[in-house]
Amino acid sequence: MFFQSTIILIGLWLVSTQLSLAQRSPDISTQLATLSTDSAKVVLLKQQIDSLYRLAPERALAYTDLADSLLRLMKDVAGQLELKATRAVVLREIGKLREAQELLQVALTDMPTSNASPEVALAQVRVRTGLAIIYRRRGDLLASVAESQSAIRQLDSLMQLHPNNEDYPAYQSDAYTGLAITYSRSENYPLSNEYFRRSLSLDQQLGNSEEADGALFNLGSNFFTTEQYDSAEFYWNSVISRTDTTADSPMLDAIYKNLGALATKQKQWNDAKQYYNRALRRFEQRGNQEGVASIRESLAYLYSEQGEYALAQQQAKLGLEAVDEDLRIRTLLFSELAEAQEGLNQYQLAAESYRTYAILRDSLLGQEKAEAIAEMEARYHYEQQEKELAIQDQEIALLNQSSQIQQLERNLLAAGLLLLLLAGFFIIRMQRQKVRRKQEQLKNSRALLASVKENAHLEEQRLLQELEHRNQQLTSYTLNFVQKNELMHHLSQQVEQLQQQKQWTSRDFRRLKLQIQQHASIDQDWENFRLHFESVYPDFFHNLTASFANLGPKELRLCALIRLNMSIKESAAVLGISPDSVKTARHRLRKKMKLDHTTSMVETLMRIEKGKAPTEWQKAS
């Protein structure tokens, strides 16, 4: 998706900028010593955090602790909330999403619910906006939308109470932008465009040119994704017309690349080459090898589409020389290299490139699965810790209750002895009844504690079995990849035999290529994937086939990938086909499901998974 490439480009630019600032900054302790007020020191620390949170996150976190101690002394509640939001940004950027989420959730819980000052209320809005970003990063798009909408409602209330506050529009723009990005991720492009336009209008009023350019860029990306190419070109050219084309702007790099892709889609080859070459020169000037390799891959595809296979081969090789570690780009480059070599009738080289492409593609898929398993294990350990803490709290509470009961028994016994001297047998009998009741309570408390421990043990066993099941799936995938490698070795031997017999023909190569493609896509991976998918979404395929009986196996696979919210490029890598083929398949699937381009396929499949019939959700929409 275009958002991902833009974030990567802008991130690299920010790191280089922060490095330059850090190198020019004097020692922080020296600067703090020259300041006489705590508020001035907090301002300086915030500036340092903003400049270092990508370059030196540990130092940035240390500065947040120092600033927090100063704000506590100042009793600045709004400042403390703002600082928590800033700390969450640092944690988010170094991948500690859960820790950042917990920090902001606790901040929301501890916030005053009434009679908050405008400054505190604005800090609450920033916390909600930051929490929405974390939910989006973790894939919980519904929670992200809900948090952004809460921030917007709170801002609307504040603007009615304080219509002349000049800070509100900037916060409102940030909330609109976050909500628009989330809607774009969930493929709800009409709502995404609406909120991007609201953000654009506010940024233009405030004179925030960079934020306005970002909104224009994202609007163009949305229209490109929905194949409204004229609108996409209009918004991207709007950014170019507003920007110094000689400036060091990652956004311009991305726009030129995207305009090249747009021209390629429309088969405007000369325009596409011009845009790609502009982007290529900018990447080369900044030494961005990943960007250079990405443009080379796009040019290789363009030349192959024109039938200029020699130029396509040249671009693919140059791209491979530019990048060594980016597995995704190398996979795409080997795919284009194989296509070009096949077009040049270099069948042996093409076979070798196809084999390398298949190995890289499987490695990419295996890497993604391994990361998913690692995330699942981390989630399991975290949940175990939470359960253990909950059990410990229950045990402590029960022990305290038992101690209180015992203390009460002793007091009652002493009182009974005193009353025995005064009242006699009647008081003794009443005391015994009380003792029996307390003993029964203690017995019940102990039985309850035993029951809680047993339930916790059963839950622990269930979670361990689930983790073992996931690990077995990863082993199954690994064995399958080994079988693929053995197949590749067998095919290589066939190629050598054909060369020795001097019977190497185009027909033989096509048959060999067909075998590679068949075994690279139709294998046990999909069966394992289906079992894993149905263990998480048990009613998905049943409800889907019940609503749309005309869907074939390939369309059911595509529906599963869409339900997992995979992008077009990610789906193409899994299915072993080109992104354009995936888009075509999605278009045909929309026709079969009778969906127009404004309806989100992800939300539609979620409704079907919940058992809603097509007539129900079509009426609701």
Q: Is 567 part of any domain? A: yes
Among 300, 322, 295, 321, residue whose Cα is nearest residue 311: 300
Give the CA distances from residue 143 to residues 130, 149, 218, 354, 485, in Å, rounded to whole numbers and listed in that order: 12, 10, 22, 42, 42
Instruction: Express each pLDDT in 307-352 by its tens digit.
Output: 999 999 999 999 999 888 888 899 999 999 999 999 999 999 999 9
In a shared domain, residues 397 and 450: yes
Residues of the chain with pLDDT > 70, as a percent, come to 81
3-state DSSP helix/strand/coil percent for the chain, to nearest 5? 85, 0, 15
Do 326 and 419 share a domain, yes or no? no
CATH number of the domain at 366, please: 1.25.40.10
Question: Span 94-121, mean pLDDT?
Answer: 82
Is there a contact between 457 and 450 (Cβ–Cβ < 8 Å)?
A: no
Same domain, 284 and 367: yes
Highest mean pLDDT (candidates 5-14, 451-460, 476-485, 515-524): 451-460
pLDDT of residue 2: 46
Whether residue 213 is contained in a domain is answered as: no
The vertex-466 CA angle with 461 and 471, nearest 5°, equals 125
| d(C-alpha 175, C-alpha 151), whole Å | 7
Q: List the one residue out of 68, 66, 53, 69 whose CA is nearest residue 21.
A: 53
- Give the alpha-carbon dihedral of 573, 577, 581, 587, to 10 degrees: -60
Cβ-contact 144, 133 below 8 angstroms = yes
Query: Does 354 share its domain with 411?
Result: no
CATH number at 606 reads: 1.10.10.10
Q: Has residue 142 been placed in a domain?
A: no
Q: What is the pLDDT of residue 482?
A: 42
- pLDDT over threshold 60, residue 381: no
- Residue at which a domain ends, from 371, 405, 421: 371
Question: For residue 299, which of 248, 335, 261 has the smallest C-alpha distance?
Answer: 261
In the block, tokens 């809680």 appear at 452
Residues 346 and 444 in one domain: no
Q: How far apart are CA 328 and CA 294, in angstroms?
A: 10
Structure tokens at 259: 């305009």
177 pLDDT band, cuts 50/70/90, is: very high
Using CA atoms, how far apart are residues 619 and 527, in angstroms rounded to an integer?
35
> Is residue 403 in some structural domain?
yes
- pLDDT of 616 above 60: no
The number of folded domains in the chain is 3
Q: At residue 618, what are phi and psi to the nearest 5 degrees?
A: -70, -40
Look at residue 146 and tell me whether its pLDDT is greater than 80: yes
Q: Which one, of 23, 47, 22, 51, lies nearest residue 35 by Cα?
A: 47
Are 566 and 467 in a shared domain? no
- Encode 178-194: b = buried (16+ Cβ within 10 Å), e = exposed: bbbbbbbbbbbbebbbe
Question: Contact at 8 Å (CB) between 572 and 530?
Answer: no
pLDDT at 275: 92
- Same-domain pairing of 490 and 547: no
Neighbours of 410 (CB within 10 A): 9
Asked whether 231 and 223 are in contact (CB, 8 A), the reply is: yes
Q: Mean of the pLDDT values across residues 610-619?
A: 63
| C-alpha of 124 from chain center | 23
CA 432 from centre of chain: 65
Cβ 54 vs Cβ 14: under 8 Å: yes
> Do 496 and 579 have their domain in common?
no
The predicted-structure confidence for 230-280, as pLDDT tens digits, reads as follows 999 999 999 888 887 777 788 888 999 999 999 999 999 999 999 999 999
Is the pLDDT confidence value at 21 over 80?
Answer: no
261 and 361 inside one domain: yes
Report the pLDDT value the prediction gives residue 374, as an integer from 0 to 100: 55
Q: What is the mean pLDDT of residues 578-596?
A: 90
- Mean pLDDT, residues 565-571: 84
Q: What pLDDT, on a 0 to 100 scale, did the predictor assign at position 349? A: 93
Q: Identify the band that residue 221 occupies on the pLDDT scale cut at 50, 70 and 90.
A: very high
pLDDT value at residue 370: 62
Are residues 579 and 613 both part of a single domain? yes
**Chain centroid, CA 187 distance in Å:** 14
Q: How far apart are alpha carbons 44 and 60 in whole angstroms?
A: 12
Those residues whose C-beta lies under 8 Å from the C-beta of residue 222, and which sit 6 or more positions away, are 184, 189, 192, 193, 196, 232
- Region of residue 25 (phi > 0: left; psi between -120 and 50: alpha; otherwise: beta): beta
The DSSP secondary structure of 475-488, one letter per residue, reads: HHHHHHHHHHHHHH
Range of the domain at 251: 243-371
Q: No. of H helices and E strands in the chain?
A: 27, 0
**Are 196 and 222 a contacting pair, CB within 8 Å?**
yes
Asked, for residue 235, whether it belongs to a domain, the answer is: no
Residue 100 lies in a domain: no
Place of tokens 């006489």: 36
Inside any domain, residue 565: yes
Distance CA 71, CA 524 (A): 59
pLDDT band for position 489 (50/70/90)?
low
Amino acid at residue number 247: A
pLDDT at 153 over 70: yes
| Token pair belonging to 313 | 């081969």
Q: What's the chain's average pLDDT? A: 81
Place of tokens 């339900």: 563
- pLDDT over 60 at 355, yes or no: yes
Q: Work out whether the CA dihedral 355, 356, 359, 360 comes out positive or negative.
A: negative
Whether the predicted pLDDT of 551 surpasses 80: yes
- Domain end, chosen from 501, 522, 554, is at 501
Mean of pLDDT values over 116-139:
88
> Is residue 257 located within the same domain as residue 367?
yes
What does the block give as tokens for 617?
A: 């959700």
Size of the chain in residues: 621
CA 171 – CA 173 distance, rounded (Å): 5
d(CA 333, CA 298): 9
Phi and psi angles of residue 115, each rounded to the nearest 5 degrees, phi first: 55, 30
C-alpha span between 271 and 151 (Å, rounded): 43
Determine, yes or no, domain membership for 150: no
DSSP assignment of 571-587, as one string? HHHHHTS-HHHHHHHHH
Q: Is the pLDDT of residue 174 over 80?
A: yes
Same domain (yes/no): 248, 359: yes
| Tokens found for residue 312 | 């396509």
Region 523-537: mean pLDDT is: 72
Q: Which of residues 182 and 563 earns the better pLDDT score?
A: 182
Distances (CA, A) of 495 to 91, 261, 502, 514: 52, 36, 10, 14
The pTM of this model reads 0.55
Q: Are 509 and 347 in contact (CB under 8 A)?
A: yes
